Structure formats: structure tokens, C-alpha cells
Structure 1
């Protein structure tokens, strides 16, 4: 894993002749057929406003997660909910701590919200350095963000290590556990949210329907938190802020669980196939538990760009690519193999 400085806020730059868009870790599949049917039915009512503040959606998600609606905050994707968290919990001259690199929305939203940030580099294996994050917590720290799996490397913090970290974080600091890619985890690697928050009430779990569920364009995300913490964040919700199709789409997605698992398995299988192939050609790829791979090396991003493949690139030349489409994976291998063949020994 390279240790060069990262800048997570660089914009995506599409090549002149774009072949594949792999920079946003999107699901390559359209919504499930039953979900599309429900969405089409809901479109007949879009002349009406959605709920002033969402009530149906928290009930639907709460029944699934096993919590009461007062412990839920729903919003415009995980990004929208994260923005409300910053607005609600971090005041002037206060700060948040997160790893670098991380989901690039965090530094961008922090600038928008006027939030101070303190960043902690990854270790040499692409993992979040939890103990360095504990040391980075200061008297003005209000929020710490931990991604599980991590974005952009896909690495996974073991549950025992996470609990030890949470025990070391002061209770006055809210820990945002970003689980945007939780559906791609093996069941043995998932964490009981209800039990975790019973032990650590300062943990706020953030999730989305944009990735595994393939609903990125509908912007549906949610957070699970202790009732008082959730209430503080909900005060920042915008009236009529959730689209009218959200409840219908989530209900239909939950009903199609078996189909969803098949799609997740297909994406995970393609991820492992592509990672193994790239490693055979000498590309450094950390073990990923999400729907993307982090390709570490100074020539990766330029080679993909020249091949018309849009990736999330980093200043050290590395890149993160979405996985799941076999044709895109083949194109990535060809682009990097061509680069190796063209490079002098």
C-alpha cells in the first residue's frame, strides 16, 4: 500500500471516448424487476407532494433493522444524512476526525458545513488506523467516522477490534459507523447494530440503498442511532425532502431479498475473479469486501484513463474501480496489461 498523500476531493475527469464509468462504485445492474414495477406504479402519484417529513420509510426500515422509528433518520442518500449529522452535531470551531483517503463526500461536506477536520493516514495495508484515530481525538472533536468496509480500499475492520476502539472513544464523541457497503459482507462479518448501540450509545450507523440495492438515482439513505441522537439529527431534515417513490422502492426491495442476494453474490464473485487476475499480473490489490477494488500503483489511473475507463483516481496514481460488470473487468485487465507491455523493464 502506497503511503503518498491523497486528495479525496479531486473531481472525476471523463476521457474523451468513455468506455466504462467505474468511478462512482455504482451497481452495474438496474433495479430488480419487481422494484421497477412498484416504481412505475408510484410514478402515477408524483403530482402529489411526498410526506412533509418521512413517516412511512422509518417504519419500513425499522421493522427490517429491528428498531423503533424514533431511532431512525432517513434522507437523500447516506450523503444527505451525513450532511445533517455534521450540521446537527458539530458546532463552530469544533471538528471531526476521519481517515485519509476516505469517502470523498466527507471532506467536501465538511467544507460546505464549515466543519474543521483532522485526518489520519491509513496503515501500510490500506486499513484504517483506529488507534491513531483515538490519539487524534481532541477536546473539540465531536464526530469520528469509521467506514466498514473502508472506502476506497475495501478493507474490513474485525468486529473485536472495532469494539475495542469504541471502548477507547470518549462517550461525548459520536462515532459514525459508515456501512454503505454492508450488504456485500459475508454474514459472519456483519455486526448486530442493536447490540452494538446498546453497549455504545454514541455510535450512529449510516447506510444506503444506493449500492447493493441499485437505487443510487433515488437518493435513499438512513442512520440508526439512540433516540435522543436521532432526534437531534432529524431537526435538520428538509420538509418534503424525501422523494415520493422512496417508501415503495424500499418495501419492494426488501420483498425481493433472494434476488438481491443473487446479485450481490454475482458482484462479489466478479470482484474476486478480477482481483485474482490483476494480482497475477503484478497489480497490488488489497482484499476488498465491497463492490469495488483499490488498485495501488503510480501508473494505474493514467493507464485506465488512456483506455477510456473512468475511475476514482488519487494523486499517487492509484485508482478505485467499481466491479460487477465482467466486460468492464476485462477492459481493466487489458488496459493495465497493455501498459505493462508498453513499459520498459
Structure 2
């Protein structure tokens, strides 16, 4: 017998993480948009030192990390909220901004957590298809907003397609929405953006009263296993989040690792690692296009390949030792790995994806 619960939860499609290699079977995992390199040595040292204090609770308010992030981004600490991943912050925002009878608007296909956090909040999800460039159709999103819309999510770069909207397009969307509708800019992959016309959400926070930016240490910083993300927004919105997050939700190790990642020493190596990803991203895209494989130009650490037979192609890759991410009949996504991992993927792509 199932306990009584909200009927809407029965309709949820649970989040499915990227497939991991089975025990004892060596495979190349390019399914979860992880950084292919481990934590920086200085970060590991900071984590090891912090481990000696694990008999104590972590800093409830994440003060040192909050202040460091505020200094880095040139905002007041009252505008920064740290939690255990940007996904957790998205869930809190959905719950404090919207509820039964309200609408949360987002593009599709985009990050698979969006419909989950919307349903858990009790709100109604309104989806707008991506345009022909596999990019957010911001004019259509503006047209889809109603007086029930409480929150609009823009994933930029978009997961899984890697596309970005332009600064002008985003400003037109913001102009079209009331100032009391929160616009959440999910910038988990911002560190990999090289397009000079891509808008930086942090700039918009200072200009607009209704913008919240989500960023994470899981991607470029290589700390996916620690679960640290943060939100930068106006102080009033930040206060709503602080009232609602779970206490002590960012561990001592996570705070220490994230804080050590913000030092000048770590910045140098981080930029080198990001440069590798950007260079390899271009190589992957160029080789796929040369093979005749559709590949969407990406600003993230992955490349999306639209194809209706994605699940079958996914299986063929996995049987040969490379794990990708399939999105039903929409396509396949490959994470940018090390040069050697990318070579292995490309060798298989020439066999399994090449168009005659």
C-alpha cells in the first residue's frame, strides 16, 4: 500500500543521471558533463585539512565562501546564497516563488530537473520548444507568459544543446516580462562560454530587480562530488532562499574545497583546464561535421548531435566501451573529455555515426 501523497508526484519522470561504467568493465564515461580532470592539488590539500574538523558541524551560513564569491563578482554578500548544488537552489526558488495555480515557464528540451522542481513546488510547467537553432526561442517564451507566470528559467548555455541566447534577445525578454516575475539564469556552464555576444547574468543582476543567476562548482571547477552551487540575486530574493534552505546542507569539505578553488593559484590552473575543454570542443565539433554528423555549435563542455535514432546509437557506443547520453528521439550528447577519451569517441563515431 502506498501512503497518501500528492497525485502530481505520480506524473513525475525521475531524473536519470548519466550512465556510469559497470564495476569491472573499463569504459570511457562521457555522459555527465563532468570535468575530465580531478580536483586541483591545492584544493585537495584544503579538503584534507578540513577533514580533521568533521566532528563539528559545518558553517551554517557559509560565511567565508559567501564573502569570497561576493568579492569575486563585485556584489554585496547579502546577494549571494550558497547551497549544495545549483539544482538545490533551483528547487528552493521554485518552491518559494510558485505554488498551486502558478506557472513556471522554461524551454524544452532543457535541463531535465526543470519539470521536476516545478511539480514538486505544486506549480504548473509551461514549456516552449527550442527554435530551429536548438536555442531558446525567447520571443515565444515572452508570448507564453501569462498573469499566472511567476518564474521563467533560461538555461544559458542550454543543457543538452550547448547553445546560448544573445544579450539583445535576453534583454527583450526581460523588457517584456513584469518586474515581479523572477527570471532565473541557469549558468552552470558559463565558464566555457567564448561567444562575446553571450550575456553575463551577473551584469543583469545589477540592472534588473527580478534576475537570479545560478552557478556551480560541479563543472569547470571539477567538484561535482562535493555538491556546491550558488545564487547571485537581489538581497530581497536572496533572503527568501535563506529562509527556506535546509540547515547545514553544505558540508565542511565542500565549503573548504570551493573556497580553495577561488584562490589566484587555483585560477591559473582552472583557466588552463577550461582552455583544454574549449579547444577539444572545437575539435570534436569539427570532426563530427567533417563526418557528416549533425553537431550543434556548443558553448558548454559537451556537444549535442540531433538524431532520431539516438537510443540505438547510444547502445552501440556503450557496447564498444564509450558511454554517451541519449535524449530519446531528440539526439545524443557527448561530454568533452581528455584528448585520449575524445580520440576514442571520434574513432567510434567514424564507424557508428558517419554519414555517407
TM-score (norm 2): 0.89
Match of 1:248 in 2: 256
Which of the residues 103, 107, 120 maps onto 2:111?
103
**Shift of residue 58, structure 1, vs aligned partner:** 1.2
**Shift of residue 337, structure 1, vs aligned partner:** 2.1
Match of 1:4 in 2: none
Match of 2:67 in 1: 59
Which of the residues 166, 171, 174 maps onto 1:158?
166
1:263 aligns with 2:276: no
**Shift of residue 310, structure 1, vs aligned partner:** 2.3
Alignment deviations for residues 241-275 of structure 1 (CA, whole Å, 9 cap, x no partner) = 11112332222111111110000000111111111
Q: Which moved more, 1:59-68 or 1:47-56?
A: 47-56
User: What is the aligned length?
Assistant: 337
1:299 aligns with 2:309: yes
Q: Which moved more, 1:104-113 or 1:258-267?
A: 104-113
Contact 2:105–2:149 (CA<8 Å) still a contact in 1?
yes
Structure 1 stretches of 5 or more lacking a match?
1-6
Distance in 1 separating the partners of 2:55 and 2:327: 43
Match of 1:233 in 2: 241
Contact 2:301–2:336 (CA<8 Å) still a contact in 1?
yes
Q: How does 1:1-345 map to 2 (within 5 A)?
A: 12=18, 19-186=27-194, 188-189=196-197, 191=199, 193=201, 195-255=203-263, 256-308=266-318, 309-316=322-329, 318-340=331-353
Contact 1:141–1:173 (CA<8 Å) still a contact in 2?
yes
**Shift of residue 211, structure 1, vs aligned partner:** 0.3
Distance in 2 separating the partners of 1:303 and 1:9: 21
Distance in 2 separating the partners of 1:123 and 1:195: 26
Distance in 2 separating the partners of 1:202 and 1:148: 17
**Higher relative contact order structure (alpha carbons within 8 Å, sequence separation ≥ 6):** 1
Structure 2 stretches of 5 or more lacking a match?
1-12
Q: 1:328 to 1:299 in 2, by over 3 A?
A: farther
Root-mean-square deviation (CA, aligned residues, Å) is: 2.1
TM-score (norm 1): 0.91
